[in-house]
Copies of this chain bind each other. A is one copy, B any other.
Amino acid sequence: MRLIVARCEVDYSGRLITHSPMAVRLLMIKTDGTFMVFSDGGGGPNVKPQNWMTAPTTIAVEGDPPSRIEVHKRGGEERLEIAIDEVLFDETHDMGEAAALEKDGVERDLQELLAAAPHRCGEGFRLVRREWPTDIGPVDLMCREPGEGWVAVEIKRVATIEAVEQLSRYLERIRLDPAMSECRGVLAAQQIKPQASVLAAARGIACVEVDLAVLRGEREPDLTLFG
């Protein structure tokens, strides 16, 4: 990874056009060809680079010290140009391979926990299968409720209006099967946005907020922090 601190102008043209005037910035060139431009201070975005290009790229560094850097995609449909006025720092560090990042608590984990405890999605629910296939993609959980009715469950960490649309599309397809024409929909999430609740209600879709700690048995369902 090469790190350059330089006073420079930046021009990007591709999916849109941007220009940034002369200022001191950090230029980061990763070994895989990813290129990023960072500014400091509160003016710009916090965590996002001001400009960037994802690998694979072709990077041409002109001059030593660098006076100009051109980055472009193979097809040439995107171009990032750095005009350098002064290089304040330029060093390359070998960091070896990227070490694996283990994650716990993403939507996948929520789905596993709810598959093991489908009754958290609704009274008496029994799991038929996870990732129930439809012709436009898999439904997270397919369950049966008391009385043998079918229920499709869509799981989200945070459920927005888009989650309701997604489940609606699935239900539309599922109900084409006469045996499942009465299939209900349930939206299960750690957090459900107000507009999602409203749209879900209008579509006859039930909403269930679930708690990760409860699902893991770390906390009783009826206890609260204020109990």
What residues make up the interface of A, taking CB atoms closer than 8 Å to B?
1, 3, 5, 15-26, 28, 30-32, 34, 36, 38-44, 46-47, 49-52, 54-55, 88-89, 91, 93-106, 136, 157, 162, 165, 195
- Chain B nearest CB: distance from A93 CB in Å? 5
Are A95 and B15 closer than 8 Å at their CB atoms? Answer: no
Are A23 and B99 closer than 8 Å at their CB atoms? Answer: yes
- Residues of chain B contacted by A104 (CB below 8 angstroms): 16-18
Copies of the polypeptide in the assembly = 2
- Residues of chain B contacted by A96 (CB below 8 angstroms): 23-24, 40-41
- Chain B nearest CB: distance from A102 CB in Å? 5
A-B contact pairs, 12 of them (CB 8 A): A3-B3, A3-B26, A5-B93, A17-B104, A20-B102, A22-B99, A25-B95, A32-B46, A40-B93, A46-B55, A89-B91, A162-B162
Partner of A93, one of B22, B31, B89, B97: B89
- Chain B nearest CB: distance from A198 CB in Å? 9
Are B95 and A23 closer than 8 Å at their CB atoms? Answer: yes
- Chain B nearest CB: distance from A162 CB in Å? 7
Are B99 and A21 closer than 8 Å at their CB atoms? Answer: yes
Partner of A98, one of B39, B93, B97: B39
- Residues of chain B contacted by A165 (CB below 8 angstroms): 162, 165
Partner of A41, one of B18, B28, B31: B31
- Chain B nearest CB: distance from A28 CB in Å? 7
